[in-house]
Amino acid sequence: MKKNVFLISILTVLISFNVSARNITGTVISAEDGLALPGVSVILKGNSKVGTTTDMNGKYSIEANDKDILVFSFVGCVSQEIKVGRQTIINVALDSEVLEMDEVVVTGLGGAVSGIRTRSHKKMYAECEMSAPAAYYYPQEEFNREGYSTIHENGFKEAIKAPLSTFSIDVDAASYSNVRRFLNNGQRPPMDAVRIEEMINYFNYDYPQPDNGHPFAIYQELAHCPWNEENMLLHVGLQGEKIEMNNLPASNIVFLIDVSGSMSSADKLPLLKKAFKLLVQQLREEDRVAIVVYAGSSGLVLPSTRGNEKQKILSSLERLSAGGSTAGAAGLKLAYQVASENFIEGGNNRIILATDCDFNVGQSSNAEMERLIEKEREKGTFISVLGFGTGNYMDDKMEIIADKGNGNYAYIDNIMEAKKVLVNEFGGTLFTIAKDVKIQIEFNPSIVESYRLIGYENRLLNNEDFENDKKDAGELGSGHTVTALYEITLANNASLKKNDLKYQTSKLSNLAKEGDEVATVKFRYKKPDGHKSILLEEVIPYADNYMTDMSDNFRFSAAVAGFGMLLRNSEHKGNVSYNSVIKLAQDSKGKDKEGYRSEFIQLIKLSEHL
């Protein structure tokens, strides 16, 4: 009898718990600007094992009962605790963290001199205070004058006449997040905003870590092409060595921040400040950060400060506000000066430029700016670029700055993208493990009739550039992956007889005729502080594989390439369709811990209806 009473009591408790426990939903926004906050931690107080995070739209869902207290926390914001009670929908507005320090406001109004008084720095830069009325607002552009470099899509080349294909690697991923911004706003992106190699390289691939004494490993696969079964698709991947955070060299970083009037909208300076707060949390004691700003002119907001003085750094960021014109060249020169004064031998010396790149004031030409960046690059100070905003977004300028400065270029369209670039991929974004990385593939005309490199149109090199160590090329960061795809048509007897040259013939070697080698791929790279390149070489054998039998790496990269060709309405898209790309991506999504691949599939579905 006692046993039955005990069981009934336990059952009663369980039933009462299940009745009171229910699904709580809601949206978390920033109290400062009303923007949704993705990535906010939502947990039950006293039980951190039960929790979730907000999605890209700031929405969450969690199981809780009347007596539970939900804790909402996010980097740079004041945490909130809310008792559930009888509520089923709990919407939250998180306030920005207010850090105590002397009032510092940085703006650039008209001809005012931009600069800040600093007590701890021996040198003074433009010792004038700047302020603006709190109610001063700058209207957003009423027209779109975004700038993109023209892309002339790669076509097929005959292997017997042009067996060599040479290009620089590209780890930039700005095109993908920019394309996502257009699609989420209900617009198809401009054709030239779609750089397929950057869309492919936005995603991480599960390549093996290097074990060959070099800073990266080489990976390759070959299979029938999913949008043209008669052709083959060659997949070449590089996996950069992942260096643990504790083993990374000390950093000397200069934040170069655009605080001009064009940066006043919520998706620019306010988002920029949230993004940099995430980066500051990753800094160690041995790292150093300075902050330079520019508007009508330039100024030093924060002298080089140790990475463990986070409150001081965050306070300086929080006080920034926008106003005035854009003297980008002056800001760039000052940033290089500050970086030089705090240079760390053997360290990571880097400027991080954050802007919409609306460089509309300054006596310096683009050519002069590029020469400055190249000169400082040779001295060991690199520059990376973070792009923000819409309307006057100058994508082409940002890409040039990052390319010339041995840096990478990302477009930040929301706080989750900031987290991806500055937290999840911190090492790859900031720490170079190999520079001037070039790829040259020699195709075997006895097997390959013609080939087409998908993307990389603005990264193509002359064949002779491959062995020229003075020729600049792309950089590979810690843990970065780089992927390239070639579509290949197979040779037959008729194609081997093709030769329209008047003064020479194309005679194939016995190795070409008798072997099963599709191609030989060569890589050249330099160490971060090196001047002489190192050569790697690998043979790619023929294999009659089908896409269904290939790795998730290969199939997902092919899905991204297919989607890129649909967005560009490529003449080479074959029979690719939205349905075929969705299926290929779904079948190769893999573990997808961060949800980037799932988001990609949703973007394809969204694009189909635009």
DSSP string over 274-337: HHHHHHHTT--TT-EEEEEEESSSEEEEEEEEETT-HHHHHHHHHTB---S---HHHHHHHHHH
Strand 409-411's sheet: what is its strand order? 298-306, 288-294, 251-258, 348-355, 381-387, 409-411
For residue 6, pLDDT over 60 is answered with no
For residue 575, pLDDT over 50 is answered with yes
pLDDT score recorded for residue 26: 93
**Three-state DSSP class for 489?**
strand
The tens digit of pLDDT for each residue in 237-255 reads 999 999 888 888 999 999 9
Q: 558 and 232 in contact (C-beta within 8 Å)?
A: no
Distance of alpha carbon 550 from alpha carbon 569, whole angstroms: 26
Structure tokens at 528: 């971060």
Hey, how many other C-beta atoms are within 10 angstroms of the C-beta on 36? 17
Question: Which of these ranges, 1-15, 238-252, 374-388, 447-461, has the smallest mean pLDDT?
Answer: 1-15
For residue 290, pLDDT over 60 is answered with yes
Distance of alpha carbon 15 from alpha carbon 65, whole angstroms: 13
pLDDT score recorded for residue 27: 92
Q: Which long-range contacts (CB under 8 A, 24 or more apart) does 569-577 make?
A: 569/191, 570/153, 571/153, 572/153, 572/155, 572/156, 572/452, 572/487, 573/227, 574/225, 574/227, 574/228, 575/227, 575/228, 576/226, 576/227
Helix axes 596-608, 578-587, angle to 10 degrees: 170
Question: Which of these ranges, 109-113, 229-233, 402-406, 412-416, has the smallest mean pLDDT?
Answer: 109-113
φ, ψ of residue 34 to 5 degrees: the values are: 75, 5
Q: How confident is the model at residue 467 (pLDDT cuts 50, 70, 90)?
A: very high
The tens digit of pLDDT for each residue in 428-442 reads 788 899 999 999 999
How far is residue 489 from each of residues 191, 444, 463, 525, measured CA to CA in Å? 26, 12, 22, 30
Residues in the chain: 610
pLDDT score recorded for residue 560: 98
Q: What is the arithmetic mean of pLDDT over 476-486?
A: 94
Q: What is the arithmetic mean of pLDDT over 464-471?
A: 96
pLDDT score recorded for residue 131: 31
For residue 108, pLDDT over 50 is answered with no
Q: How confident is the model at residue 58 (pLDDT cuts 50, 70, 90)?
A: confident
Q: How confident is the model at residue 119 (pLDDT cuts 50, 70, 90)?
A: very low
Structure tokens at 205: 């691939």
Instruction: Give the CA count within 13 Å in the CB-facing half-sphere of 234.
Output: 24
With b for 16 or more beta-carbon neighbours within 10 A and e for fewer, the 54-77 pattern comes to bbbebebebebbeebebbbebbbb
Q: Tokens 């945490």, residue?
A: 79
Bridge partners (DSSP) of residue 73 are 41
> What does pLDDT average to over the chain?
83
Tell which wins on pLDDT, 509 or 291: 291
Structure tokens at 151: 């892309």
Q: What is the arithmetic mean of pLDDT over 271-293?
A: 93
Distance of alpha carbon 257 from alpha carbon 277, whole angstroms: 13
Q: What is the arithmetic mean of pLDDT over 320-342?
A: 85
The tens digit of pLDDT for each residue in 555-567 reads 999 999 999 999 9
Amino acid at the residue 395: D
CA angle centred on 374, ends 373 and 377, rounded to 5°: 85
Question: Which of these ranges, 121-125, 160-164, 291-295, 432-436, has the smallest mean pLDDT?
Answer: 121-125
pLDDT score recorded for residue 367: 77
Hey, how many other C-beta atoms are within 10 angstroms of the C-beta on 129? 13
Distance of alpha carbon 257 from alpha carbon 332, whole angstroms: 10
- Determine whether 194 is exposed, middle or buried from the number of CB atoms within 10 Å of its CB (0-12, 13-18, 19+): buried
Q: How confident is the model at residue 100 (pLDDT cuts 50, 70, 90)?
A: very low
Q: How confident is the model at residue 501 (pLDDT cuts 50, 70, 90)?
A: low
Tell which wins on pLDDT, 456 or 110: 456
The tens digit of pLDDT for each residue in 360-372 reads 544 456 777 888 8
For residue 517, pLDDT over 80 is answered with yes
Q: How confident is the model at residue 396 (pLDDT cuts 50, 70, 90)?
A: confident
Tell which wins on pLDDT, 182 or 429: 182
* Percent of the chain topping pLDDT 90: 56
Q: What is the arithmetic mean of pLDDT over 330-339?
A: 91
Q: How confident is the model at residue 129 (pLDDT cuts 50, 70, 90)?
A: very low
Domains and CATH numbers, the chain: 2-94 (2.60.40.1120), 157-172+188-242+432-499+511-583 (2.60.40.1230), 245-423 (3.40.50.410)
For residue 48, pLDDT over 80 is answered with no
Q: How confident is the model at residue 261 (pLDDT cuts 50, 70, 90)?
A: confident
Q: 519 and 595 in contact (C-beta within 8 Å)?
A: no
pLDDT score recorded for residue 393: 78
Question: Which of these ranges, 208-222, 236-250, 256-270, 352-366, has the smallest mean pLDDT?
Answer: 352-366
- Determine whether 152 is exposed, middle or buried from the number of CB atoms within 10 Å of its CB (0-12, 13-18, 19+): exposed
CA angle centred on 574, ends 192 and 182, rounded to 5°: 30
**Three-state DSSP class for 2?**
helix
Q: 296 and 111 in contact (C-beta within 8 Å)?
A: yes
Q: Which residues contact 139 (CB under 8 A, 6 or more apart)?
A: none
